[in-house]
Amino acid sequence: MKRLVVLASGEGTNLQAILDACASGEIAAAVVAVVSNKSESIALARARQAGVPAIHVGTAPVSVETRGEYGARLADAVLAWNPDLVVCAGWMRILSMSFLHHFPKQVVNIHPSLPGELRGADAIRRAYQETRLGTRTRTGVMMHYIVDEGVDDGPVIDHVEVQMHPEESLDALTERMHVVEHRLLVETLAHLCDNGGPP
């Protein structure tokens, strides 16, 4: 059984998909800890509900702690769980090299856009807005490794294209994207945990 540490900042619907797939055996792994930078995140509540250690590693003002120092502190918290994979599932902070150098090719991220497009926060909303303006006909979801401090960038493991529907509401698009995200995330992790290699 592979050991997963999940990093999550918010709602945790992707975390929930991982927890459910580990419980059902679809992913041959256990979530050994969930770490959040937000003490009130629903992700931490979901972890507690599932009986998984829920750990808050909060940030401090940059005058007190640099991004690199935070990364080293976050790495200490994650290393304690000896993970095979670190999964960013709605983790909304850039991971610094002081964190990443501890986990070579062990950190994966899900992001709701096609590779090279709509990096950063609110990618679904931005895809929606561009469709409204008539400048976008499709978006997507990708899984990639995080190997450096590039935002939502790194060697792509897999991606799925999603067609935009011009009349669709933002809520409906968000729901449709989440379904695609959860499936891609579970299938990718199932493959990585079974075979140790990308699909």
Catalytic residue numbers, as ranges? 111
Q: How many residues bind ligand GAR (CB under 6 A)?
A: 15
Task: Select the residue interacting with ligand GAR from 32, 75, 78, 181 (CB under 6 A).
Answer: 181
Nearer Cβ to ligand GAR (59/82): 59
Query: Taking the chain, what is the end-to-end CA distance rounded to the nearest angstrom?
Result: 19
User: Quick one: DSSP state of residue 51?
Assistant: T
Place of tokens 């992001």: 111
Task: Select the residue interacting with ligand GAR from 3, 10, 59, 164 (CB under 6 A).
Answer: 10
Question: How far is it, in rounded angstroms, from Cα 5 to Cα 9?
Answer: 13
Quick check: 47 binds ligand GAR (CB under 6 A)?
A: no
Q: Strands across the sheet with 54-56, in order?
A: 54-56, 29-36, 2-7, 85-88, 107-111, 138-145, 156-163
Window 90-129: contact mask with ligand GAR (x via CB under 6 A): x-------------------xxx--------x-x------
User: Least separation, in Å, of the C-beta of 16 and ligand GAR?
Assistant: 8
Inter-CA distances, 145 with 136, 152, 175, 190, Å: 26, 9, 25, 15
Nearer Cβ to ligand GAR (83/140): 140
Residues making contact with ligand GAR (CB under 6 A): 8, 10-14, 89-90, 110-112, 121, 123, 152, 181
